[in-house]
Chains A and B, each alone.
Chain A
Amino acid sequence: MTPYVPGDSPVHRCPPGRKILLLVGAGSVLFAWPRLDLALAALGLAGLLYGMAGIPARLVLDQLRPLAWILAVLVLVQVALDGWLAGLLVAARLAALVLLAGLVTLTTRSADLIEALQRGLAWLRFVGVNPAKVGLAIALTLRFIPVLAAIAAEVREAQRARGLERSLVALTVPVVVRMLKMSDDIAAAIDARSYDPDGTDGRPPSPRTRLSKDPHVDP
């Protein structure tokens, strides 16, 4: 899913959690001290790290392309308002941050990223959120994005036959209704495989886990 570039560089081997923290740190520093020398240094550092990780130049440009027009507008506005130095600062800072963020994505497997995320969210326990449930929610999301995309494609085919493929309502309503009907079975399937993060031994699944709808109504 993520355009991961395999490798064994120090950038690849750095634990994902540390990479994210470093990235957040870099962002905070650049915004706290809006100085051109810092922004350029960050840009240089980004270039150095991309080289170290062995990322092809094409992928580096891919990271910047979505921002190209925003960068252009920003630089023009800044140059007009505060002179070209200010324009350069904004552009360099944004480019550096986007490149560094892209580097994290390119050098980390999404599975590792998610695992780090789950560990990183362990503190949620203290505000009453069970990290195991967060972990399941993350995994379920990744599992069902392609399923929903496939349902959407199927619905689009069906609506095309009726000449409705340009209508977002005609596309979205059946997708959402099918998704909601699926949710009953998915929840039942999870409980059927002994999922029990709260350790509520003995009791039947929580009341709302039971079928809210008649199972005879086929999804």
Chain B
Amino acid sequence: MSTRDIVFVALFAALTAALGLFPPVTLPVVGVPITAQSMGVMLAGALAGAVRGGAALALFVVLVCAGLPLMAGGRGGLGIVMGPGGGFVLMWPVAAFVIGYLYERALGTLTVWKEVLILVLGGVVLTYAVGIPWIAAVARVDLAKAALGSAWFLPGDAVKVVLVVLIARAVRRAYPTLRAR
């Protein structure tokens, strides 16, 4: 990694932490508070690419585990990973890597729908695939109940996917960062 890559990794880790400082928005109707933090995962993949984005989120998770209060609401520590939401958090680096990889592969031919598909795949499907069984294991409930409980967050995730597509498109126009794979 060059110095510039290290700076990118650190800045996207810092961005994910800074997004946790934005006040959470409560979705109308559903009533579940959503934080901007997991947008950091998608943005890191979409703008920093597979290796740098994945490394940024790995760094973020390591710092959270080490006890720094970087999660939304000033939370931190191994308790986060050991708690029910731990599966989601641990998947963040993988999600950023996969999103980055798919963005780099599709770079020349990106359409809005392709971006939505990539973000849903990496940012939603992949993280839920690990996050839900994790809840089931930690909380000792069956998978169906864990899935039902997690479903409350889907509308928030849908909003985030749309926002990230808009943000990533605008940023790419102003400052291209990815190289095609």
Contact = CB atoms under 8 A, between A and B. Distances in A.
B167 A169 contact: yes
Contacts of B154: none
Interface residues of A, number: 75
B78 A187 contact: no
Contacts of B36: 168, 172
Contacts of B32: none
B85 to A, nearest CB: 8
Given A27-B78, A66-B75, A70-B84, A140 B6 contact: yes
A141 interface: yes
B143 interface: no
Which residue, B6, B75, B163, has most C-beta atoms of chain A within 10 A?
Answer: B6
Interface in A116-175: 117, 121, 130, 133-134, 136-138, 140-145, 147-149, 152, 168-169, 171-173, 175
A175 to B, nearest CB: 8
Interface stretch (B106-114, B118-126, B169-177): B169-177
Interface stretch (A6-14, A49-57, A205-213): A205-213
Interface magnitude class on chain B:
35 or more
Contact of B15 (A63, A179, A195): A179
Interface of A: 1-3, 20, 23-24, 27, 34, 63, 66-67, 70, 74, 77-78, 81-82, 86, 90, 94, 97-98, 100-102, 104-105, 108, 110, 113-114, 117, 121, 130, 133-134, 136-138, 140-145, 147-149, 152, 168-169, 171-173, 175-177, 179-184, 186-187, 190-191, 195, 205-209, 212-213
30 contacts: A27-B82, A70-B83, A70-B84, A78-B140, A81-B141, A97-B82, A98-B82, A98-B83, A100-B79, A101-B79, A105-B77, A108-B67, A110-B67, A113-B67, A137-B9, A140-B10, A141-B10, A141-B13, A141-B59, A145-B17, A145-B70, A172-B19, A172-B163, A183-B4, A183-B8, A187-B3, A190-B3, A206-B4, A208-B5, A209-B2
